[in-house]
Amino acid sequence: MMYRLIADAAMVVHFAFLAYMAVGGYVAWRWRRTIWVHLAVVAWGLLSLATGVECPLTVVEDWGRRGAGLQGLPPTGFIDHYIEGVIYPEEYANLARLGVAILVLFSYVGYVLRRQ
């Protein structure tokens, strides 16, 4: 039971992390100090995308699922399992990434404009 809770908690945190990556720059419009957290989150996203480094949340969820006797995540990871092919078709992955990049870029432009 505990393994399942750990896996589910890791999944929820992972979704929250991805949502914050997409819109956290807008949060910084209100709470300016959070921009540093968002920059770190975006940097991690870019690093994992560019290098394929495995996210610790994916490791924890996979460990919890296996410990609970469930099938682990596929080798392609969290996004391929829960998002690509579920929320949008796999062939639109690059378009979805571009959409997130545009959201982040606009949030940073707005952040700078609001600071002035």
* Residue 78 · residue 57 · CB < 8 Å: yes
- Rounded mean pLDDT, 36-52: 94
CA–CA separation, 63 and 67 (whole Å):
6
Q: Which of 61, 52, 45, 49 is nearest to 12 (CA)?
A: 61
Domains in the chain, number: 1
Q: How far apart are the first and last CA of the chain?
A: 52
**Token pair recorded at residue 73:** 């995540």
Domain interval for residue 56: 2-115
- Within 13 A of 82's CA, how many CA atoms are on the CB side? 15
Query: What number is the average pLDDT over the span 37-55?
Result: 93
Please compute, for residue 7, the number of CA atoms within 13 A of its CA located in the half-sphere on the CB side.
17
**Tokens 């709470």 identify what position?**
31
- Any alpha helices (H) in the chain, and if so which ranges? 2-30, 34-51, 56-67, 78-82, 93-115
Q: Residue 105: which pLDDT band, with cuts at 50, 70 and 90?
A: very high
Cα–Cα distance measured from residue 54 to residue 60, given in angstroms and rounded to the nearest whole number: 11
- Return the pLDDT at 3: 96
Asked if the model's pLDDT at residue 10 lies above 90, the reply is yes
